[in-house]
Structure 1
Amino acid sequence: MSFNHEAVLLNEAVAAVLGVKSLPIDASKDSLQASGVYVDATFGRGGHSRLLLSHLADNARLIVFDKDPTAIAVANQLASEDSRVTVVHDSFATLSDHLAKLDIEQVDGLMADLGISSPQIDDGSRGFSFMRDGAVDMRMDTSRGQSVAQWLEQVDDETLADVLFEFGEERHSRRIARAIKQMDSYESTLELAEVIKAAHPNWQRGKHPATQSFQAMRIFINNELGDVDSFLQQSLAVLKAGAQLSVISFHSLEDRRIKQFLQRHSKGQYLEDENLPMPPQRPRYFSKPKRIGPSKAEIAQNPRSRSAWLRAATRTDIEYDKASTAT
């Protein structure tokens, strides 16, 4: 079965990683022909990568990362058609290691779309959806690691509640966790969603009561926030002076991290520390960041884009020093 995916903030994200205000209307006639090395850290179904390639010179390179084996199959097909593409089946948290293996010290642009793709949501067998039945899996990389079902079999009520609260911001996490742990098995996403619904005392109109709990379990099992933190920190060393960072997020937990990271590294100093007479100075590694949201037209065409935010910034020419960028 095939599933469609519509890349969010497509033109805006690619323009940002290329360091231009907007893209030419017709890339086939007026390509930017940018040279250098670029990274799409979350290939997905390749929407952002394909548009970026249309504006890259013949001698440019594009390194694409993804955890998802299905996404990697699509990426490998693209690589077979375009010699500029190199595929890495791994998390973007391993960015520096894989670039080193490819003898790449720094890159000219780095972009990531942190959202779960439509094919992952729409394919019930992946376990991400509470609207379609399937195994309670939720792994981005189905070739390794523990599924949510396996984790639920082992986890205690208190730890589960902590996960639902921390990664889903679920106010009724204790009550929901107790209900989940009373289930006989974790074989069906629809059954899990119904148990959460029954345990939830109230929920936002128009929003399924299992939304935050499913989000929390998915984020936890895939270490999504930890990977984001690692990826952002590595971007300091990986990006050349003048190179662009372009990152799309879809929920507040991710967006807050990106915002705070760029603020810390664009203001020239640490946040105030009440234990020190003077806060230590931090170099300004990024220009003032930009935040861009989807247009009304994009939201109307693709409702899943409504929660997306793109944050972008330019790497300055200050030399990277690991000791001065500890978080």
Structure 2
Amino acid sequence: MRLAAFRPVAEPGGPPRVGLVVGDGPNWWLHPFPAGTDLVELLAAGTAEREAAADAAARGDGLRPEQVRLLPPVYPVAMRDFLTFEAHVAGVGKGMQGHEFVPPEWYAAPSFLFMAPHAVTGGYDDVAIAPDTERFDYELELAAVICRDVRNAGPEQARAAIGGYCVMNDWSARDVQGREMKLGLGPSKGKDFATTVGPWVVTADELDDCRDAGGFLDLRMTVKVNGEVTGSDRSGNMGWSFEQLVSYASRASWVKRGEILASGTCGSGALAEGWGRTGELIPRPLQAGDVVEMTIERLGTIRNRIVAGTESVPAIVPARRRVREEV
């Protein structure tokens, strides 16, 4: 089942709605649920209850793609981005260390960073280039939407907390990110301006037939820039399953309904990986006018046009340098 958040084009100032996506390819229909329906509550509902609600929605009139603006499926209460693809770690490591380097600490536990939940954008929204960057990049990721609160969750409890999956683009300003990470912090301003999630959420039960022998979701992941394939991988190459990610995040801590947990960038899923391996900015960094398209098998496609930033941002003030006096 595919569940989307949207606004009708005819009601741009209206409240967000939730709809059932029916049909494949570009010719889908969106059948609205009753006003006030909460997408995360639908994910948490029992299968029979959710299917009954979907059947009722499908009997109503549907909307065509041109009649709606797709919103982020959820406005998350928190976001965590993991680092689960060994190939990506190796490629970026070459740029930082001079060789394809995977630190032993990576194997020890599924590390993650917290993201800016207020920065999410819809699957077809324009995305403005971040300020102060000359190395604007995309990151192709698989993301899970949490539908139940969990703490100290084992694998089975963690699996029941995952309501569904979607495509994610963790946009990055690589030069800003690099400056921050030299101090052992961040990335923060290198990533807090936009994260695209969408185009909708596919319920977890729909993907049970996509698991490999180890229980990992194994879905084809592809990214294109201006129609040309620039990277691809499979989610089955993750070092940890999503159940293991949720379990780790919940150790002595709450993972709350409405959170998004992401896989981290897949192998060849970012330009920076190629830059690290070759030492050159080839392919070139993203520019205004580029269109980035990401597809994950069974989940759909997000497509975003990059535009020039138009916001007036305050200047960065460097730290004052103090002369220390001897005591």
Alignment TM-score, normalising by the size of structure 2: 0.23
Q: Which has the higher strand share?
A: 2
Return the structure number with greater helix share.
1
